[in-house]
Amino acid sequence: MNVRAPLSSPAARRIKRVVDVVVAGSALTILSPVLVGIAILIGVTMGRPVIFRQHRIGLNEITFAVYKFRTLSNETDSSGRQLSPAERVTSVGWFLRRTSLDELPQLVNVLKGDISLIGPRPLMPHYLPAYTEREHLRHIVRPGISGLAQVSGRNQLSWNEKLELDVQYVERWHLGLDLRIGLQTIAMLVRCSADVSRDPHGEGDLVQLRAAQSAPPAPQPRGGQD
């Protein structure tokens, strides 16, 4: 599918990259005491590692390691099996998730060029085969810490709605759109109004949901005669 995206322009990409580096670098400098404090708090309450790393899909569908502050413990049940993610979210981890402070290490990803401040959220690699042809367009730009879907409803949206908003961002991109999304994100953080599930996987697995949608309906039993 050929789509003319504003960010296909080298000049637009350079402008967006400069903004990313300046803002992310400044934020890391200003927030360094907060980052250190959170790292100490996690180390004391949960131990190591402090940083959670996970592979995600980036620009041109190339994977990279995304950084987040750890929010889950390694707690197990009486049989030694690890508890569900919702059960392993600690009180500190829940606070970090509700305030989105767990996302701060991604500023390092921005400086490295893995992601942008604003863009489609980076998803896990095993989701790729579940995309429609149109949804692959979300990867012709760098993913972002926040995006159009996140300020438009986040977990209240279905997967189809979120992925469509990601593609619309790619098609409609301009600096003003990034600024609007950035300001809306800051307002949500100040109000702590982000729609966050206690379960990191509460939105459901895209692959499983798409497989269920494409499965043929179960045959209905034939009605008998009395």
pLDDT digits (tens, 9 = 90+) for 45-71: 888 899 999 999 999 999 999 999 998
Q: Share the mean pLDDT of the chain.
A: 84
Which pLDDT score is estimated for 224? 47
226: confidence class by pLDDT, cuts 50, 70, 90: very low
DSSP assignment string, 7-55: GGSHHHHHHHHHHHHHHHHHHHHHTHHHHHHHHHHHHHHH-S--EEEEE
SS3 4: coil
The pairing of strands 144-146 and 116-118 is parallel
SS3 66: strand
In single-letter form, the type of residue at position 35 comes to: L
d(CA 30, CA 8): 32
Chain centroid to Cα 226, Å, comes to 56
114: confidence class by pLDDT, cuts 50, 70, 90: very high
Which pLDDT score is estimated for 76? 77
d(CA 108, CA 114): 9
User: In Å, how far are 5, 180, 223 from 174, measured between CA atoms?
Assistant: 10, 10, 59
| Residue bearing the bigger pLDDT, 106 or 4 | 106
pLDDT in tens, 66-88: 999 998 888 777 787 877 777 78
Percent of the chain at pLDDT > 90 equals 50
d(CA 81, CA 139): 36
Single out the residue of 171, 155, 138 nearest to residue 204, CA to CA. 155
Q: Which of 4-13, 170-179, 207-216 has the highest mean pLDDT?
A: 170-179
Q: For residues 66 and 109, is the Cβ–Cβ distance under 8 A? A: yes
Give the CA-trace dihedral at 68, 52, 155, 151, to 10 degrees.
Answer: 10
In single-letter form, the type of residue at position 85 comes to: P
Total-model pTM: 0.81
SS3 207: helix
